[in-house]
Structure 1
């Protein structure tokens, strides 16, 4: 949701600040942008042989087969979990893909198409990940499932969750029941969530990113004394933090099809083409609030768009990261009564946009805690992780809290985030982001 911006950016506040220093860090540090060159984002790679097609509702299978034969589809792939809305079609490398796409979109029974991209996201968490050869039993997953779903359901599209490294040991996972259509592939039957990378019911996180994101949400909800929730883990990224358009779309359609999903955390993103089906599907779910990370290249997303955080739907929020510097001394008095204006400026800290965080007056809605965020695994290891991926889940937890308080629409939740957020003190112009931070 692209929030209305405050008039405060027009206000220049002149402060002379001495002795600002960062806190010393001596723990394991994981920074999503540590190996990146700022202002040089990586773009996804477009497939030269694959298209994604969306069928009209109720389009019969025999007619789908006729279309595949007509366009000489070499191979096709359906989504897991009985979703027949989209398919991935593969063609001979000599085919003119753009020309073929134009013809297919004109066919009766075809609702839309999209190109297949390979996303090399930066959502890797070295040191926190588990073994790629490991896994989780159905029994272990079941032990974390709540007795019954109640309150708010949060879906997390990410690298999965490693229950063997997660410090929390109480049930919090989304539970299936006999009224739901369960996902089944071969001998695998859905337990809680689904792995769209390996096509099975074990959402084991062999990367680490999804585990940290999940832990941040759970910890914040605990701090806010919220227990009436459940988390639906959806593994859409592999052990290297990579995915494809088709895998991402299948994962998303699975999540929104689950009853009671009200908030989706999407700590990922890419530059360049927006795609056509993903923004369409998000618009089709106006009652679900989508919370996304804004990226870690220190660039302006208003000029160099970053998706999905730059989608302009009213049910999506783009989250950047702020950092804190200690302020030792404020020399000059303020030229106005800050208390009367509801602004707290005389704090022993200075809040600034994190160096790595992307920004944008219209495309980044809030800043949250994404710099040097603590994560303790169940072995007592302490990690300090940085990135907008870790700012987004804190906002997700806050959104779930407001949902529990009766603000159940994306518009109402966003308004509560703004009303209860900390108003930024504008130390200098220009202003690069929304006027409030979420802590």
Structure 2
């Protein structure tokens, strides 16, 4: 166990006991592509470029008044020798994290990297889990962009979202948030979306939020999120597990998203009650100083389990290049790698386990808790009775999705997230030959259906 991203008009509400936003939906373009590719092993791990004039900021005291925050911004500008040219907040949460565009031309300004790594909050030698003394008012993180799979898959855009929202939030359901490219609800025949119309007495969308287009239409125009969701719901439906999915769109049509979008998405999760599992099938390499996202995750209630993918470059993320968020030292976080298994005949479990290898997935026994299949997923994406597309997704994104479905099956509303973590780990088989790649050689076998 681990220790210890077309802006439209927006009306934001900031009242005691109310948190929300109401915006008209946008229409998205249709695009269909059935190819599914996986990152290839490479020594050129893609380290994200730090945006030199943008900084993600979170005030330590979230109860500060607007005037107090303005005064503190001015103090910080003067102390660190820069000017804030533009300030963005997460959609409809003016008290949440901020994205500053700053003037970097001041003679005494030492740069964003120096600001983040040396002046405040973070120790650059840490694994993303240590803070040092610094600015007492705020935490600073880099702003950068990352990309996940760009394999567009879209339905017919004929299904109204209201037809896919569960009428009321049943306390006996397992609630799963998915930070991804959204979900195309054309591919789902029954209501499955978590209802957020009345969350915190506000009107923050109808189910989830689109932080790319800044509206309430969480329809997937990329395909990645729909495939992740399909794996989860297919498995849960097959075992009769009642569930609700909360899609949070933090990646766009081309698969790109920003650290700030992800922070805002997680901030959104923190505002919604009773989210039991969060699936995060994405990641980035190298940048250790990301305290804001990690802190929000740690502040979310103990009833939430985070499930993250390990990445697909076949590298040791403990010793070579760290991978996040799977590498965060958060107790209630599962880092999921992927394994390969080629079978031409049915085998007993002991013989089957001996055939398992990890060649394409990232690995590291300190940060990767378990492995699930990277492939062997066949998804029938049917958008109407006469149209269906079969896709075969490959990658640790889908290993993570499969483990999320296992978590949904094992979820017990009376148990904390650490108990769910333990129950998942207890369900694993041990592969001695993988102990140097994943914790205790833990693997989850996929049930054939």
Q: TM-score, normalised on structure 2? A: 0.78
- In the TM superposition, residue 198 of structure 1 has moved relative to its aligned partner by 0.5
Report the 3-state secondary structure (helix = DSSP H, G, I; strand = E; otherwise coil) of the residue aligned with 1:156: strand
Return the index of the structure with the highest Cα Rg: 1
Question: How large is the RMSD of aligned CA atoms in angstroms?
Answer: 2.7
1:197 to 2:223 alignment? no
Match of 1:31 among 26, 37, 48: 37
Q: Quote the Cα distance in structure 2 between the aligned partners of 1:294 and 1:353.
A: 15
Partner of 2:371: 367
* Cα distance per residue 1:119-176 (max 9 Å; x no partner): 2x3333x25246xxx978xx81111111211222100000001112x1x210110012
CA distance in 1, matches of 2:434, 2:403: 26
Please give the alpha-carbon distance, in whole angstroms, between the structure 2 residues aligned to 1:410 and 1:209: 26
8 A Cα contact 1:39 1:298, kept in partner: no
1:402–1:416 Cα contact (<8 Å) kept = yes
Number of corresponding residues: 382
Q: Which residue of 2 aligns with 1:431?
A: 436
2:274 is the counterpart of 1:260: yes
State which of 133, 157, 161 in structure 1 corresponds to 2:183: 161
Q: Give the Å deviation of 1:361.
A: 1.3
**Correspondence 1:276 to 2:291:** yes
Following the alignment from structure 2 to structure 1, what is the Cα–Cα distance between the partners of residues 306 and 256?
20
Cα gap change, 1:183 to 1:295, in 2 (>3 Å): farther
Q: Given the alignment, which residue of 89, 94, 99 partners 2:105?
A: 94
Q: Tell me whether 1:60 sits opposite 2:51 in the alignment.
A: no
The equivalent of 2:18 in structure 1 is none
CA contact (8 A) 1:291 1:316 kept: yes
Distance, in Å, in 1 between the alignment partners of 2:282 and 2:238 is 25
The counterpart of 1:206, out of the listed 211, 218, 221, is 221
Distance change (3 Å), C-alpha of 1:260 and 1:140:
same
Say if 2:178 and 2:246, in contact at 8 Å, map to a contact too: yes
Is the Cα–Cα contact under 8 Å of residues 216 and 393 in structure 1 kept in the other structure? Answer: yes
Unaligned regions of 5+ residues in structure 2, if any?
4-33, 78-82, 122-133
- Could you tell me which residue of structure 2 aligns to residue 44 of structure 1? 48
Cα distance between partner residues in 2 of 1:160 and 1:373: 20
User: What is the SS of the residue equivalent to 1:115?
Assistant: strand
Change (3 A) 1:129 1:380: closer
Cα distance between partner residues in 1 of 2:346 and 2:422: 34
**Structure-2 separation of matches of 1:420 and 1:104:** 42
Change (3 A) 1:419 1:103: closer
- Tell me how far apart the structure 1 counterparts of residues 197 and 435 of structure 2 sit (CA, whole Å): 52
Query: For the residues of structure 2 that align with 1:107 and 1:431, how far apart are their CA atoms?
Result: 40
SS at match of 1:319: strand
Query: Mind listing any 5+ residue stretches in structure 1 that lack a counterpart?
Result: 4-27, 185-189, 331-342
